[in-house]
Chains A and B, each alone.
Chain A
Amino acid sequence: GAVVSQHPSWVICKSGTSVKIECRSLDFQATTMFWYRQFPKQSLMLMATSNEGSKATYEQGVEKDKFLINHASLTLSTLTVTSAHPEDSSFYICSARVNPFGDLPQHFGDGTRLSIL
């Protein structure tokens, strides 16, 4: 149980393209989803938190107009990297949790490797 599906797993595209990444909780309803960015051999950096039906909360330093997050249902959140540039190349990972509290594990997708040429 508690499976999170993230799609696509790999994207290569030209500079200036917008890229959408989907994160779905397959067998549970996720009131809260998280989007992380990870650089090689480093830890996860939280980018934003999304709660179903409300606006995402972005971490300091993350451009909300650059990284658009939508959490339209209890099982789907999307991250759109708008007008992507090479510096946006990274590994993006989503996770989902049943409730807003920190007393339950988070369930992670397998990540999306984004390469901007």
Chain B
Amino acid sequence: SQQGEEDPQALSIQEGENATMNCSYKTSINNLQWYRQNSGRGLVHLILIRSNEREKHSGRLRVTLDTSKKSSSLLITASRAADTASYFCATPEGNTGFQKLVFGTGTRLLVSP
């Protein structure tokens, strides 16, 4: 599988600051998804951005997608301590009849009060 790379691997910021995480992938995609994982829990879907979209917003989250560079970014604005979690990008892999998600390496975000 073509696992995506995320950077930074870890990010530590203060409450109120913005957090930016980047994801690079290797194959052509029809969409890219971002997920969040609190420690010891399952993943929660945040945003799905399609290949014909360049930017998408959801509350304090902003996702961009640059298919020419095979990269995406997740911006969390005005971060809160509750945003502390690991964030993963994921891309579908496989033929059109069936696709599975391949997850990136993840970014561990720590937001300090």
Interface string of B79-105 (1 = CB under 8 A from A): 000000000100011101111111111
B61 to chain A, nearest CB (A): 14
Q: Which of B40, B48, B94, B101 contacts A111 (CB 8 A)?
A: B40
Contact assessment for B106 and A43 in the assembled complex, using a CB-CB cutoff below 8 Å? yes
State which of A14-22, A69-77, A94-102 sits at the interface with chain B: A94-102
For A32, the closest partner residue in chain B by CB is B98
Interface hits, A40-77 → B, CB 8 Å = 41-44, 46, 49
* Complex Cα–Cα for A89 and B30 (A): 35
Q: Which of B30, B43, B88, B93 contacts A95 (CB 8 A)?
A: B43
Number of B positions contacting A (CB below 8 A):
30
* Complex Cα–Cα for A106 and B41 (A): 15
Contact assessment for A108 and B42 in the assembled complex, using a CB-CB cutoff below 8 Å? yes
Asked, given contacts A101-B96, A102-B99, whether A43 binds B43 with beta carbons under 8 Å apart, the answer is no
Interface hits, A99-113 → B, CB 8 Å = 100-111, 113
The answer to whether the Cβ of B78 comes within 8 Å of any Cβ in the partner chain is no
* Complex Cα–Cα for A41 and B88 (A): 12
Complex contacts, B71 vs chain A, CB 8 Å: none
Complex contacts, B101 vs chain A, CB 8 Å: 34, 46, 102, 106
Complex contacts, B64 vs chain A, CB 8 Å: none
* Complex Cα–Cα for A54 and B63 (A): 37
For B43, the closest partner residue in chain A by CB is A108
* Complex Cα–Cα for A46 and B93 (A): 12
Complex contacts, A100 vs chain B, CB 8 Å: 97-99
The answer to whether the Cβ of A6 comes within 8 Å of any Cβ in the partner chain is yes
B9 to chain A, nearest CB (A): 9
Contact assessment for B105 and A105 in the assembled complex, using a CB-CB cutoff below 8 Å? no
Complex contacts, B31 vs chain A, CB 8 Å: 102-103
B interface residues (Cβ-Cβ under 8 A, vs A): 1, 3, 30-31, 33, 35, 40-45, 48, 50, 88, 92-94, 96-106, 108
Q: A103-B48, A111-B42 are in contact. List 11 more A-B contacts (CB 8 A).
A: A46-B101, A46-B102, A49-B100, A101-B92, A101-B99, A103-B50, A104-B48, A105-B45, A108-B35, A111-B41, A113-B40
